[in-house]
Structure 1
Amino acid sequence: MVEQRPLARAFAHLVLALGVLIVAFPIYYTFIASTQTIQTILSPPLPLTPGGQFSENYGAALFSGVGQIGGVSIARLLWNTAVVATAIAVGKIVISILSAFAIVYFRFPGRMVAFWLIFITLMLPVEVRILPTYKVIVDLGLIDTYTGLTLPLMASATATFLFRQFFMTIPAELVEAARIDNAGPMRFLRDILIPLSKTNIAALFVILFIYGWTQYLWPLLITNDSSMNTIVIALKKMVSFTDAETPWNLVMVTAIFAILPPVLVVVLMQRWFVKGLVESEK
């Protein structure tokens, strides 16, 4: 029986509330700044209550475009970033499932060599591969395209390793039963392995979506057209060296929009995310 300790419980709740306050206050402060005029932002201290420029600031950023980023609207940047993040997450998961499935369930010469070659790529930082990858993308004419933004980032040694480890826990009897039922490899993958892997897929999707959403270096190199920028790149371009040239109200609006989608993905998929990380019974 667990002993009830009111003081310990109250202290734990206090620590949790303090942690939430520390994490959430900068976001709240950013939202407050996004509803103010530039003059108010440049004249500290900033009020702790929302201002009266909410509709004007958010409307101008979403639909009118921002001069510092070539007149591109935040709606366009959000679309670009969502396409990139979703394509990277889905592409990594699909490629990793297929490669792990081939390594675990097919017997062919060099099978383990192929796995270790994939695994060794974890030791290579992005900076090592970025110049040759950029040269390939330029030669293929994929600058300022969604393919150029996403394709080089789709392979994932980490996801391949995780799926391989999970597939190795599938009982051999299940594989034999599928063979007795005359199920081919792709049917076995589609009807058995993927349904069993759904929590792992959900957890990886959350992680990989945030990874794709927050990409900075590769989109910076591969895009010259402002209309193909992601929201992280645009946010950096909007901030000038001098406060007078920076539209801080629109910068704060852009920051809020950059934060919201990853937060929504985590909140909406929280149950699947946690289950995929801690579930031991398959």
Structure 2
Amino acid sequence: MVENRPLLTFLTHFALIMGVVFLCFPVWMALVASTHGPDALARSPIPMWFGDQGWQNYSQLLAAGLPEAGGVPLGRMMWNSLIMALGITFGKIAVSILAAYAVVYFRFPFRMGFFWMIFITLMLPVEVRILPTFDVVTKLGLLNTYTVLIIPLIASATATLLFRQFFLTIPDELVEAARIDRAGPMRFFWDILMPLSRTNIAALFIILFIYGWNQYLWPFLVTSDESLYTVVMGIQRMVNSGEALPVWHLIMGTAILAMVPPVLVVIAMQKLFVKGLVESEK
């Protein structure tokens, strides 16, 4: 029986509310700052409520862009980020689920050796892989393309490990039933494993989409064409504007718009995300 403790309930809710305020306050300040002009943010105290320049600021960002960011409209940068994030997400899921399927359900020489080779890559820092990968894509002539933004990042040892561990929990009876029904390997994969993996795929989709959307170092290295800038690169170029003062009201507007797609993905797939972490539909 759970006892009714008003003081404990109050303290719990108070701590929860304070945590939400602490996390959301920077977002609120960025949203407010994006609706003011540059003069309002240069004075003290900083305004805590919305201004009247929001429409002009966001219109300028989406349509014209800023010279500090190469003059590329923010809409173009967000489109590049979206293509990169979706390409990385679908690529990682496709490669990882097929690799895990092969490791779990097929018997071939050095099967576990290949799996451990994939797993060991988790221990390699990103910097170790960037230089040889950059050398390869340079020799292949892939710089300044969407291909170079996506293909080198689609391998994922983490996703392969998660799918493998999930497939190991599939009852053997399902495999035997598929064999009795004379289902081939691909039919078993599409008709049985894929529906069962739906929640796991949704959970990984959110994680991998945010991972792809927030990429900065790799796009920075492999793109010099301003039309291929991502939104994260745009924010960095706005902040590091050289001798000119940063236009903080437009930087904050860019940051707010950059948060919108990941937030929408999390909200849209929240239920599946939670199920993928705590449940199994077998």
Work out the CA distance in 1 between the residues paired with 2:82 and 2:241.
29
Match of 1:124 in 2: 124
Work out the CA distance in 2 between the residues paired with 1:131 and 1:197.
35
Work out the CA distance in 1 between the residues paired with 2:269 and 2:251.
28
Match of 1:238 in 2: 238
The answer on whether the counterparts of 2:209 and 2:262 sit within 8 Å (CA) in structure 1 is yes
Q: Structure 2-normalised TM-score?
A: 0.97
- Code of the aligned partner of 1:149: L
Work out the CA distance in 1 between the residues paired with 2:265 and 2:201.
14
Match of 1:201 in 2: 201
Match of 2:248 in 1: 248
- Code of the aligned partner of 2:91: G
User: Are 2:74 and 1:78 aligned?
Assistant: no
The answer on whether the counterparts of 2:143 and 2:223 sit within 8 Å (CA) in structure 1 is yes
- Cα gap change, 1:147/1:262 in structure 2, threshold over 3 Å: closer, same or farther? same
Match of 2:212 in 1: 212
- Cα gap change, 1:46/1:243 in structure 2, threshold over 3 Å: closer, same or farther? farther
Q: Deviations over 1:93-150 (max 9, x none)?
A: 1100000000111111111111011111111111001111001111111111111001
1:264 Cα offset (Å): 1.7
For structure 1, list consecutive stretches of 5 or more residues without a partner in the other structure: none
Work out the CA distance in 1 between the residues paired with 2:170 and 2:83.
34
- Code of the aligned partner of 2:99: S
Work out the CA distance in 2 between the residues paired with 1:44 and 1:34.
16
Q: Secondary structure at the match of 2:101?
A: helix
Match of 2:185 in 1: 185
- Cα gap change, 1:3/1:243 in structure 2, threshold over 3 Å: closer, same or farther? farther
Work out the CA distance in 1 between the residues paired with 2:94 and 2:206.
14
1:243 Cα offset (Å): 8.2
- Code of the aligned partner of 1:263: V
- Code of the aligned partner of 2:15: V
Q: Deviations over 1:253-274 (max 9, x none)?
A: 1110112211221122111111
1:228 Cα offset (Å): 0.4
1:242 Cα offset (Å): 6.6
1:240 Cα offset (Å): 3.2
Identical amino acids, percent of aligned pairs: 58
1:76 Cα offset (Å): 0.4
Work out the CA distance in 1 between the residues paired with 2:281 and 2:263.
28
Match of 2:229 in 1: 229
Work out the CA distance in 1 between the residues paired with 2:63 and 2:175.
54
Point out the more displaced range, 233-242 or 151-160.
Answer: 233-242
The answer on whether the counterparts of 2:196 and 2:281 sit within 8 Å (CA) in structure 1 is no
Work out the CA distance in 1 between the residues paired with 2:230 and 2:270.
25
Work out the CA distance in 2 between the residues paired with 1:244 and 1:116.
51
- How does 1:78-117 map onto structure 2 within 5 Å? 78-117=78-117
Q: Secondary structure at the match of 1:245?
A: coil
Work out the CA distance in 2 between the residues paired with 1:3 and 1:157.
46
Match of 2:270 in 1: 270
List structure 1 segments (4+ residues) > 4 angstroms apart after TM superposition.
Answer: 241-244
Work out the CA distance in 2 between the residues paired with 1:3 and 1:281.
34
- Code of the aligned partner of 1:13: H
Q: Structure 1-normalised TM-score?
A: 0.97
Work out the CA distance in 1 between the residues paired with 2:159 and 2:240.
38
Match of 2:156 in 1: 156
Q: Count how many residue pairs are aligned between Structure 1 and Structure 2.
A: 282
Work out the CA distance in 2 between the residues paired with 1:49 and 1:242.
30
Work out the CA distance in 1 between the residues paired with 2:83 and 2:43.
38
